[in-house]
Structures are given as structure tokens and as C-alpha cells.
Amino acid sequence: MITLEEFKKIDIRVGTIIDASINKGARKKAYKLKIDFGPLGIKKSSAQITDLYKEEDLIGKQIIAVVNFKPIHISEVTSEVLVLGVVTNNGVVLLNLDSKVENGIKVS
């Protein structure tokens, strides 16, 4: 179990996907994403969300991501954020919002 103080160290923010393409070198099928986090800038991620989402459907979609992990190199992408979703039998379903909000807003 973690404490509330430990959880508060995780920086979870809202961003909008502005570009999506196949991460060709990834071992598991994934997209290279560019995500606008407003005041935090544009961040890159590699996300294994190809089962349920097409590249063109991701553009303009608001997502929720952890933005304070140490970047990791995944094939051709230095993944700076972890896009959050739920793993189902059909693939990963992205967490999303009921209403559009400002990019970069903190999730609490």
C-alpha cells in the first residue's frame, strides 16, 4: 500500500494528442504520440493503443497521462509521459473526460 503523500508525488495531467503515427521499431505494436500539455509544452509518448484506436481518430483527443516519470527510450521514441488506460480483452481503452478542459490541468 502507498500513502496519500506518496500518491501526491505522481503528476497526472490532461493533454491533447496533436500527432499520432506507428512506432515502427517497437517490439509490441504502438503509436508515437505528440501531446500538447499547455504550459508544460508538447511531450512525446509511445502508447500500445493500436487495437482500438486509429491514428486519425486520436488527433484532437484529450487524454490523461503521468508527466513526471523519467523518460524512457522505446525504439524511435523517447517516451516522456505515460498515457493512462484500462487493459481489456479487446485492447487498451484510454481514460478520458466528460467535458473538454484546458491542456495541462492537473488531475486530483
Q: What's the mean pLDDT when you consider all of the chain?
A: 96
Output b/e per residue, 2-38; b: 16+ Cβ within 10 A. eeeeeeeeeebbbbbbeebeebeebeeebbbbbbbbe
Structural domains in the chain, CATH included, are: 11-94 (2.40.50.140)
User: When comparing pLDDT for 21 and 76, which is higher?
Assistant: 21
Residue type for position 10: I
Q: What pLDDT is stored for residue 52 in this prediction? A: 97
Q: What pLDDT is stored for residue 107 in this prediction? A: 95
Q: Which pLDDT band, with edges at 50, 70 and 90, does 85 fall under?
A: very high
Q: Which pLDDT band, with edges at 50, 70 and 90, does 76 fall under?
A: confident
Q: Please give the Cα distance from 28 to 21 (Å, whole number).
A: 14
Q: Which pLDDT band, with edges at 50, 70 and 90, does 108 fall under?
A: confident
